[in-house]
Structure formats: structure tokens, C-alpha cells
Amino acid sequence: MKKSLLALTLLTAVFFSCKKTTTTDFTATDVTGTTTVKGVCTRNVITPNGAGGWINTSQIPAVGVSVQIKVNKNQLYPASIAQGADVYSAVTGTNGAWAMSVKSNATGVQGYVTITGFNGTQDTIINGVTKMGLYANYFGTTPGNTTFLMGTTFDFGVFNFIATNLTSNPNNIMIGSAMVSGSVSARHILKARTTGTAAAVAFGFTNIAIPAGTTVYMSFDKDPTILAPKMYQTTTNANGGYSFASFPTVALGTAGFNQNATIWVADLADDQDSVETINGGAGTVIFSKPGVFGNVGTFQNALYNNEIRNATNMAMNTFTAN
């Protein structure tokens, strides 16, 4: 009997000593999510007010602007010892819009937002056409800490950049037009002879219209719509004539507007002809040599409203043979 009890006791001890202890595994659960953050950036431009003046409250998209949001990790994981921060970035597109996905949680995280400023031109828009204007500074903004909740969308709306450190645009200027026209000719050799003579004798020079389609340039300072120098081009007709008609200008005496123009023709590759006249009659070309006529120009000042400068002629008298 004692042997049976001893055997049972030993068996029980062995059984309990071999039984494994069961533990429950812990799986960390990520309770974070994302918030979609978006907005639009614009900048002010100058537009005519319909009464000869200007307004600068109109807006166009501000392209290429950098937007950043910084979220500290102890915001994302509250009651933790997490350090550092996550920084998210976006750049505005052609429509000025930006968007980014920010990691957040159910209780909300504080994100520090920065819309970065930039340097650029304050442009003018006339009849839907954008004209580059004067250089300006566009300062950004820091809306500060904003709460972002996971699973939601936060819309900052529109932030409009205002140009600063910019020369003031003139007010109440009356825009009209002026006109400059003339002709361009090139110097050729004039020879003369009388009936029965063996050869023509060099007599002097004559100016002949340059070829049709030759480009004539005009630099005008300053254009009242872009408040800066503006370049114009036109071409000559069959008679060497050119015209810059109805280009914008301002009234005489408008402060800050000298309204000066430089007009010129670039070097012209062409033949210099020898023109022969017989008994003083009409001339005919008897010989030509190829080369280049040197550029020529003229300066016209005070081209204010209703000014008409005709017969603004230019002669290309310098010729270099090939």
C-alpha cells in the first residue's frame, strides 16, 4: 500500500513538473492615420480700372511656392518619450493649389505650418494678357500651430501674397498713343555719261530703298502698361517705308515718363549697285558688288499722346565690300 502511494506521488510530481507555462503575446497597435491638408496661393497683379488708372487687388495663381508642415513626434505619440519631428512639404502647381498627406491620430496633432515667401515681378494684366512688371518681394506667412485629426481634410483656403518693396505705380495716368514713320535707304554709286561716250564717269552717290521685309526695331522707354522699356518690331515695304503706329504712351507732363524711343536697322547684307544715268535720265544698274551696309539708327524723344513723327528717315551710308 505504501509503495502504491509513493508511486502515485512521484507520477503526480513528474506530471506537474513537465507542464509548460503559457504566456499571452502583446501586439502593438498603430493608432495613427492621415489628414489631407490643402490650400491655394495667389499673388496680386495690376489691372486697368477703366478710367486711365490702375488697381492691384486682382489675383493670379502663385506658382512654385513651397509649403511646409512640421509635426513633433511627441504629438503623434502622446505620453511617450518620442523625440524629433516629421516635416511634410508641397509646392503649388500652375493653378496655385497645393496638398499633402500628414500623419496624425484620433485625438489630433499640432502641426506648425509655413508658407514660404519669394521674389518675383508684380505683373500687369490687360485684356487677359499678362505683361511682366517691376521686381517685388512677396512675403510668406506662418499660420502657426493647427490641429489635424486623422481621417479628415483640412482646407486652409486662399492665401494671397501682396507685393512689397516695390516702386509705386503711377495713378490716374491717361494712356493714349503715338506714331513714328519714315523710310530706310542705302547708299549706292551714281555714274553718268552722255550719248556717245565710251564709259560712264563716277558722279557721286544715290540712295535707294532697302529691300522690302527688312526688320526695323524700336525700343520705347517707358511703356505705360508694364512700366518698363518695351521692344517693338516692324518691316519695310517695297519703298523702304516703315511705321510704328498707335503704340501706347501717356500725356505730356506725366511724372516719371520721358517717352523716348531709339529706332534702328541692324547690319544689312546686300549688294551696293553702280547706277548709270544717260544724259541725266533715269538710272539703270550696271554693276553690283556684295557686302554689308552698317547699322543705322535715330533717337526720338518726348513721344507723348497724339504725337506723330513722320519722315523719320534713316540712310545706311557705310558699306563694307566682301
For 45-94, the pLDDT digits (tens) are 888 877 777 787 788 999 999 999 999 888 888 877 778 888 899 999 99
Q: Which of 93-97, 203-207, 309-313 has the lowest mean pLDDT?
A: 203-207
CB 259: neighbour CB atoms within 10 A? 22
What's the predicted TM-score (pTM) here?
0.49
pLDDT of residue 47: 87
Displacement of CA 26 from its chain's centroid (Å) = 59
pLDDT of residue 253: 83
Separation of alpha carbons 238 and 82, rounded Å: 82
pLDDT > 90? residue 159: yes
The neighbouring-strand residues paired with 48 are 54
C-alpha cell at 31: 493608432
pLDDT of residue 308: 94
- Please tell me whether the peptide bond between 19 and the residue prior to it is cis, using omega within 30 degrees of 0: no
pLDDT, greater one: 201 or 215: 215
For 86-123, the pLDDT digits (tens) are 889 999 999 999 999 999 998 999 999 989 988 888 88
User: Which SS3 state, helix, strand or coil, does residue 165 take?
Assistant: coil
For 221-258, the pLDDT digits (tens) are 888 877 778 889 999 999 999 999 889 898 898 877 89
The phi and psi torsions of 281 (rounded to 5 degrees) equal: -80, -165
Integer distance in angstroms from the first to the last C-alpha of the chain?
Answer: 139
Separation of alpha carbons 122 and 135, rounded Å: 6
pLDDT > 90? residue 214: yes
pLDDT > 70? residue 1: no
Work out the pLDDT band at 279, boundaries 50, 70, 90.
low
For 259-269, the pLDDT digits (tens) are 999 999 999 99
Work out the pLDDT band at 200, boundaries 50, 70, 90.
low
The neighbouring-strand residues paired with 47 are 55
pLDDT of residue 22: 57
Separation of alpha carbons 115 and 39, rounded Å: 10
Cβ within 8 Å of residue 175, ≥6 positions away: 52, 224, 225, 248, 249, 250, 305
Separation of alpha carbons 71 and 184, rounded Å: 69
> What value does the mean pLDDT of the chain take?
83
pLDDT > 80? residue 17: no
pLDDT of residue 25: 58
% residues pLDDT > 70 (the chain): 83
Q: Which of 48-57, 141-150, 266-275 has the lowest mean pLDDT?
A: 48-57
Residue 280 backbone zone (phi > 0: left; psi -120 to 50: alpha; other: beta): left
